[in-house]
Amino acid sequence: MTLTFIGQQITIYGGFFILVAGVLGELFTIIVFLSLKTFRQNTSAFYLSIMSFVNIGQLVFGLFSRIMIYGFAIDWTAMSIAYCKARLTVFLLCSLISYTCLCLAIIDQYLVTCNRIRWQQWSNIKTAYCLVIIFAFIWCIFIVPYPIFFQQVTSLTTGKITCTVTNQNMSIYRMYFVGPFLGGYLPDFITVVFGILAYRNIRQIAYRTVPIVRRELDTQLTTMIFIQVLINFLTNIPCVTVGVILNATTYITNAAVLEILQFINTITLLIFYTYFGSSFYIYMCVSERFRRQFVYVMMKIYFKRWQQQLAVNNQVVPT
pLDDT of residue 226: 92
| Nearest C-alpha neighbor of 145 from the set 115, 122, 166 | 166
Look at strands 150-154 and 161-165 and give their pairing.
antiparallel
What sign does the dihedral 19-25-28-33 (CA atoms) show?
A: negative
pLDDT of residue 43: 92
Q: Are 281 and 224 in contact (CB under 8 A)?
A: no
CA atoms within 13 A on the CB side of 79: 7
Burial status of residue 168 (CB atoms within 10 A of its CB: 0-12, 13-18, 19 or more): exposed
pLDDT of residue 319: 46
Find how far residue 86's CA is from the centre of its chain. 18
| Nearest C-alpha neighbor of 49 from the set 124, 122, 132, 111 | 132
Q: Distance of CA 182 to CAs 19, 105, 189, 287, 308, Å? A: 24, 17, 11, 30, 49
First-to-final CA distance of the chain: 72
Long-range contacts of 257-261 (CB under 8 A, 24+ apart): 259/2, 259/3, 259/4, 260/3
pLDDT per position in the chain (319 positions), as tens? 688 888 888 889 999 999 999 999 999 999 999 998 888 888 999 999 999 999 999 999 889 888 888 888 888 888 888 888 888 888 889 999 999 999 999 999 998 888 877 878 888 889 999 999 999 999 999 888 888 888 888 877 777 888 888 888 888 888 888 888 888 888 999 999 999 998 888 887 655 555 677 778 888 888 999 999 999 999 999 888 888 887 776 666 677 777 888 888 889 989 999 999 999 999 999 999 999 999 999 888 877 777 777 777 776 445 4
Q: How far apart are CA 51 and CA 280, in angstroms?
A: 12
Domains (ranges, CATH) in the chain?
3-305 (1.20.1070.10)
DSSP lists the bridge partners of residue 163 as 152
Residue spans of beta strands (DSSP E) within the chain: 150-154, 161-165
Q: How far apart are CA 312 and CA 319, in angstroms?
A: 16
| Nearest C-alpha neighbor of 53 from the set 144, 142, 131, 136 | 136
